[in-house]
Structure 1
Amino acid sequence: MTERAAAGGRAAVRGRAARFERWRTRLSDTTAQLEADAARSLEETRFELRFQPRVDRKGDVVAVEAHVHWLDPTRGVLRSDVFLPRLAERPVGRDIARWAFAAACRQALAWERDRPRDETPVPVAIGVLRRDALDPEFGGFVAGALARTGVPAALVQLAVDPAGAEPTLLAFRLLELRDLGVGVTVDDVGPTFGDASGFLPADAIRIDRRWIGPVEEDRALAGALRCLVDRAHDRGLLVGAAGVDRDGQASALIDIGCDHLQGACFGDPAPADDLGWNLEPEPDPPASTRYEIDPVSGLPRRPRGVRRRGQRADGGAAPVPAGAAVPTVRPAPA
């Protein structure tokens, strides 16, 4: 009986090992196919940037974040968090990320050219692969992209996830990037970040969306995040939060001192030519789910308190002088 049980156990182990090997082979094949399809799509310009607003405590847009979307003919529209983590260590992953950075620079310059001179510039933020952040040649790439596009460095912000990176090396690389004049945000941080080892050299930190979900109900979590915010402010850093999907979350994060908020509560990522909130209002805003109808005026307005520069706090348009030209946002050239 014992020998029979042992033989059965060995057979079960062999069966699990065989199933794991088949799964690993399928995963490898799938990743290889994904890599090949992504490389082909990059050549065919099937990637685009969509931009999500980042608002301050008053609800004014102070920056936008560029998100890469893959317009795949068979898979449909894929967000970067669906495909880029699987390609991050592959050559095509780096190629996509660097294409996205250059495209974000071009779009930032296009918006800057359209900006009325009496309005505050709106920077464009974009995530950086960890391998790029640690690459000694990445600073040269960033400097070259800034020079080629002509965008002011102050209009570009880089978001870097520090997970798994050697802190001293990452700090050195971030200092190199800041010396170029771009903004640097340390992304996806939690309550204990900077508690013992200190903060990385940056302009801001952003709380990971994992900690945002229960913040309106979990007092202990809110208290821990408040301590994080206080530590960051003591070092002169701004604090943002990603993944803010509900008004209650936004209120709780403002209460603990967050400076910038971003998430579906304030608008989903949208193509550049759909956006106009960083400039004067357009006479006829495009029909979009980002608008709702004001029950009093019957006019479209942006929901949940997000307003364009040049709008009153109640959502109405500020007066435009007679004969004044109303600028529009143009997508950056390919």
Structure 2
Amino acid sequence: MPFLPLTRILLRLRIGTRLVLSSAALILLLVVPALAMLARLEQLSQAFEQLSSQRLLLLRLAGEINLHANDAARKLLVLISAPRPQRVEAYAAVDSSNRKIDEGMKMLAARLPGGQANASLRELEGSLAIFRRAYDSTVDLIEAEDVQAAREMMAQETELTLGMLSSAAERLLQVQQAEMEGQAKRLQRDIQQDRWMLLGLCGAAALLGGLVALSVRRSITIPLGETEAAARRMAEGDYNARAPLHGGDEVARLAGTLNGLAEAVSEREQRIMHLANTDAMTGLAQRARFIVEANESLHQHLGKKGMAALLCLDLDRLKTINALIGFDAGDAVIRLAAERLAEHLGPTVALGRLAGGTFAALAPVRDAAAARTLAEELRLHVERPTSWMGQTLDLSISCGVALAPEHGKQGEALLRLAEQALYDAKRQKTGLRVFSAMTEVARQQDLTLASQLQQAMQENELRAYLQPKLCLRSGELVGCEALIRWVHPERGLVPPVEFIPFAERTGRISQLTRWMLAEALRLMAECPLGTLSIAVNISTHDLHDRELFDHLRDLLWASHVEPQRLTLELTESGLMDSDQDPVALLQGLRTLGVRLAIDDFGTGHSSLAYLQRLPVDELKIDRSFVSNVDLEPRSYELLETIVRLGHSLGLSVTAEGIEREGELDALRRAGCDVVQGYLLGRPMPVDKFMSWRSEHKPRS
């Protein structure tokens, strides 16, 4: 169609030029028909004016002919009765009338358009000729002095022909009137047609004007609106929005510039989002990006009816490495773990760093056993010894596993379950834990036990049991360890193994610790214990309690007990796994004046570099190094080495869990300072401990 190339050409014009052309076209569409109709109306007006003038002229001429004919007839009457001298003047008047009649006839002949009017004119001319013959005959009779015959001729012929002349003039006027009416009707029809034509032209002009306006709207207004809408979407963050391009005018160029800006912003946003969701240290995906990649991988694997395992892995003792060796060492460990994980899993497995030393991976597996095998392989691969700045670092990693589709089909939900399994693995020190629905059942049971334990603290059902600590050389009682017991009103004495792990899982261990600290200080303030010291266990969870320092300070101030009589026993693994800086934590507690002891020494993974920086007073050897030590020479050598290590660091060495005399003798030979165990005294209620103390005699 020829219209389309024209449209394309117009779209390439500038908007101002297009608007000028559109306005000019619209004005022409309105002005040209208006001028044409004005000319037509002027023409019709002139035709009406001419018709009216012609009608008036014919009426006047016909009237004058009749008038002059009648005047001539009246002059005959004068001629008949007048004497001859007077007839000369009458004849002059008659001749004047006849001339005027002839002039009128000539003008009628010139003005009549033709047709029936010409026939009427010929009839009028014939009647005039008959009238003149009769008139001439009458004149002849008058000149012959035959008055009587002239009168008769006048009465018969002249009057009759004069009437015929008047009738012919009247018929001429009627015919001309009919023709003029016909012309008037034709003019009216022309006017009506012109009116409809004018309306049609106006309608066509309005239609064409609307088309011009629509064209302007389509080429300017609509593209501007689309560009504005696209800009609004871009402002709202939808950088994939694009403004449509129409032609090559200013709006199209603006839309093109806006699209280019959106593409640039989108690319920059993608780079920023990639950087924001990518860990700068390891180059792995951060949590949000990992979840997206995990969902994509899950969709692929589950769509093929396969299985996948989401593994959540956490480096143990990272905070300790940061505190004791430095953050550079911690960062090196994180990078090394990331490299080893990526190396073992390969590039097709989704892998991310969640926070600190915590990583997550989603890998396809055949079954649950394959998932566990993969987790064990990852742990072994990461835990290979490494060195940093000439110092050997022993890496340890815990892992939680959730399976898809068994435990869920969404990355975020699976990650939460894997994190929960990781938490259980670290709490139970198993290294690896696959999520189990039975864990939720255990949590529900924990809720019931939590309510009962809270009630036990409120109803005074908790008791402090004391276990003696003896000087190995003299056998004298030098202190005791305070152990908590729960006397249930229905179940009786609840073993610590049933509620202490639960309290650690639920975080209520801090409440038990605070109760135990308050009870130990109360016993030292109110009971006749002399200078005996009491040791209280501090759990790993207590190390996360930022209010522990202030609480203990307030208890010491309120009890007026000498701080050095209170010993806080912190497990080696708890110090190493603490999220807090162990050195800073112990230094803070040390400022209160209390004694500090490392409990269960040998079960953790501390090194001499760690140990020599810890501000502690006592080293407690775990019972696993004491059991049957007298029967195994290598165990004795290890025990003796630990004792010498403690003494070389200026620490008092305590052994726990002594149940046989042979074990006691081996400890004495190794040079241990303080001992405790069932052989020497079981944990006892306070009143029984006081009785035992009064009856106790030092063993030689």
Shift of 1:161: 0.8
Q: Which residue of structure 2 aligns with residue 42 of structure 1? A: 457
Give, in whole Å, the separation in 2 of the partners of 1:272 and 1:90: 28
Shift of 1:26: 2.0
Deviations 1:260-299 (A, max 9, x none): 10110111111111223686x4xxxxxxxxxxxxxxxxxx
DSSP 3-state at the match of 1:264: coil
Give, in whole Å, the separation in 2 of the partners of 1:29 and 1:93: 18
The one-letter amino acid paired with 2:499 is F
Q: 1:151 is matched with which residue: 558, 561, 566?
A: 561
* Identity across matched positions, percent: 25
Q: 2:575 is matched with which residue: 165, 171, 176?
A: 165
Deviations 1:17-40 (A, max 9, x none): 689744222211222222111011
Q: Which residue of structure 2 aligns with residue 87 of structure 1? A: 503
Give, in whole Å, the separation in 2 of the partners of 1:89 and 1:25: 13
Greater mean deviation of Cα atoms: 241-250 or 129-138? 129-138
Residue 105 (str. 1) matches residue 521 (str. 2): yes
DSSP 3-state at the match of 1:188: strand
Q: Which residue of structure 2 aligns with residue 3 of structure 1? A: none
Q: Which residue of structure 1 aligns with residue 608 of structure 2? A: 195
Q: 1:248 is matched with which residue: 656, 662, 684?
A: 662
The one-letter amino acid paired with 2:622 is D
Q: Is contact 1:139-1:176 (8 Å) kept?
A: yes
Residue 185 (str. 1) matches residue 597 (str. 2): yes
The one-letter amino acid paired with 2:673 is D
Deviations 1:201-223 (A, max 9, x none): 10001011122213121211211
Shift of 1:134: 4.1
Q: Summarize the Cα distance change of 1:103–1:11 in structure 2 as closer, same or farther, 3 Å threshold.
A: closer
Give, in whole Å, the separation in 2 of the partners of 1:277 and 1:178: 33
Shift of 1:252: 1.0
Greater mean deviation of Cα atoms: 83-92 or 254-263? 83-92
Q: Is contact 2:507-2:541 (8 Å) kept?
A: no
Residue 261 (str. 1) matches residue 649 (str. 2): no
Give, in whole Å, the separation in 2 of the partners of 1:202 and 1:156: 13
Give, in whole Å, the separation in 2 of the partners of 1:25 and 1:110: 44
Shift of 1:75: 3.4
The one-letter amino acid paired with 1:104 is A
Aligned pairs for 1:1-334 (under 5 A) are: 21-57=436-472, 58-112=474-528, 115=530, 121-166=531-576, 169-190=581-602, 194-199=607-612, 200-276=614-690, 281=694, 307=698
DSSP 3-state at the match of 2:575: coil
Unaligned runs of 5+ in 2: 1-305, 307-365, 371-402, 408-433
The TM-score with structure 1 as length reference comes to: 0.73
Q: Summarize the Cα distance change of 1:22–1:154 in structure 2 as closer, same or farther, 3 Å threshold.
A: same
Greater mean deviation of Cα atoms: 189-198 or 269-278? 189-198
Q: Of the two structures, which has the highest relative contact order with CA contacts closer than 8 Å and spacing of 6 or more? A: 1
Deviations 1:116-154 (A, max 9, x none): xxxxx1111111122223433211111111111221112
Shift of 1:89: 4.4
Q: Summarize the Cα distance change of 1:91–1:131 in structure 2 as closer, same or farther, 3 Å threshold.
A: closer
Q: Is contact 2:509-2:542 (8 Å) kept?
A: no
Shift of 1:52: 0.5
The one-letter amino acid paired with 2:537 is G
Shift of 1:193: 5.1
Q: Which residue of structure 2 aligns with residue 297 of structure 1? A: none
Q: Summarize the Cα distance change of 1:107–1:38 in structure 2 as closer, same or farther, 3 Å threshold.
A: same
Give, in whole Å, the separation in 1 of the partners of 2:544 and 2:559: 24
Q: Summarize the Cα distance change of 1:176–1:81 in structure 2 as closer, same or farther, 3 Å threshold.
A: farther
Q: Summarize the Cα distance change of 1:261–1:140 in structure 2 as closer, same or farther, 3 Å threshold.
A: same
Give, in whole Å, the separation in 1 of the partners of 2:581 and 2:369: 46
Give, in whole Å, the separation in 1 of the partners of 2:644 and 2:547: 35
Q: Is contact 2:510-2:545 (8 Å) kept?
A: no
Shift of 1:91: 4.2
Q: Summarize the Cα distance change of 1:232–1:11 in structure 2 as closer, same or farther, 3 Å threshold.
A: closer
Shift of 1:66: 0.5
Greater mean deviation of Cα atoms: 184-193 or 248-257? 184-193
The one-letter amino acid paired with 1:174 is L
Q: How many residues align?
A: 274
Give, in whole Å, the separation in 1 of the partners of 2:510 and 2:368: 43
Give, in whole Å, the separation in 1 of the partners of 2:454 and 2:690: 32
Counting helix residues as a fraction of each chain, which structure ranks higher?
2
Greater mean deviation of Cα atoms: 93-102 or 168-177? 168-177
Q: Summarize the Cα distance change of 1:227–1:40 in structure 2 as closer, same or farther, 3 Å threshold.
A: same
Shift of 1:11: 11
Q: Is contact 1:89-1:131 (8 Å) kept?
A: no
Q: Is contact 2:537-2:568 (8 Å) kept?
A: yes
- Between structure 1 and structure 2, the one with the greater Rg is 2
The one-letter amino acid paired with 2:447 is A
Q: Summarize the Cα distance change of 1:153–1:12 in structure 2 as closer, same or farther, 3 Å threshold.
A: closer
Greater mean deviation of Cα atoms: 26-35 or 56-65? 26-35
Q: Is contact 1:133-1:174 (8 Å) kept?
A: no
The TM-score with structure 2 as length reference comes to: 0.36
DSSP 3-state at the match of 1:213: coil
Give, in whole Å, the separation in 1 of the partners of 2:678 and 2:465: 13
CA RMSD of superposed structures (Å): 3.0
The one-letter amino acid paired with 1:51 is L
